[in-house]
Amino acid sequence: MTPPHDPAYGTAPTGGWTPWGTWEPAVGRPVPAAPPVPAVPAPRPLGPGGIAVVVAGLVIGMVLAAVVGALLLRGAADDAGTAAGEAIGQAMFGGVSEDAGWYADPYAVGGLGPVEQTDPVPPGELGPDPVLDAYAQECFDGDLQSCDDLYMESAPLSDYEEYGSTCGGRVKAWTVPYCTELD
């Protein structure tokens, strides 16, 4: 088949590229056949044993990745935790004594030293709870265990809790961890 052409330019070419970007063989020449493409064999399906091997390999790979990741991150996390703890200890307590070791509680080694105590203060009206009122009165009367009980059983930020934390007005709030330590 020859493409249409303008007679002013002569006859149509025989063979070669056409103006439309296709190849036309020359008249009388056979078109060479493309080489055969080798057939790709279809994959064999995995049996139950093959699936088990693949799953076991995946599980072992994930476990190994987790172990390696944990080992790599462990050292960095320990260093970060130690640095954060030291910074907090420095900010809150002005540093941790060497005697305290890893425990930064100021009460743990030698306490805070002597605690300034004053005479107890009457509880007054702390709230509507008769049980907590009884603890407050016993705390004022000198039963320091009642002061601790009042602190532990009262609602956070309540007047009961504040009175218990002062051991009945004997110390500043939260100066001692337990009022029974004043004995």
Q: What's the pLDDT score for residue 132?
A: 95
Q: Is residue 159 in some structural domain? A: yes
Specify the pLDDT at position 182. Answer: 84
In a domain, 23, yes or no: no
Q: Is pLDDT of 165 > 80?
A: yes
Residues 93, 135, single domain; the answer is no
**Residue 100: inside a domain, yes or no?**
yes
Structural domain range at position 101: 86-113
- Choose the most confident range, by mean pLDDT, from 31-35, 82-86, 141-145: 141-145
Rounded Cα distance between 33 and 39, Å, is 17
Residues 108 and 138 in one domain: no
Query: What would the pLDDT profile of 89-140 be if each residue is shown by its tens digit?
Result: 666 655 555 554 555 555 554 555 678 899 999 999 999 999 999 999 999 9
Neighbour tally for 50: CB within 10 Å: 11
The CA–CA distances, whole Å, from 68 to 78, 80, 115, 170 equal 16, 19, 51, 56
- Domain count within the chain: 2
**Residue of 162, 115, 118, 170 whose CA lies nearest to 140:** 170
Give 64-113 as a DSSP string: HHHHHHHHHHHHHHHHHHHHHHHHHHHHHHSS--GGGTT---TTTSSTTS
The residue count for the chain: 183
The whole-model pTM stands at 0.42
1 token code pair: 């088949």
Each residue's pLDDT tens digit, 12-55: 555 555 666 565 555 555 556 677 888 888 877 777 788 888 88
Q: Is residue 102 part of a domain?
A: yes
- Residue 159 tokens read as 């007047």
Does residue 92 sit in the same domain as residue 135?
no
Is 39 part of a structural domain of the chain? Answer: no
In single-letter form, the type of residue at position 47 comes to G
**Does 169 fall in a domain?**
yes
Domain membership of residue 46 (yes or no) is no
In a domain, 63, yes or no: no
* Statement to judge: residues 147 and 172 lie in one domain: yes
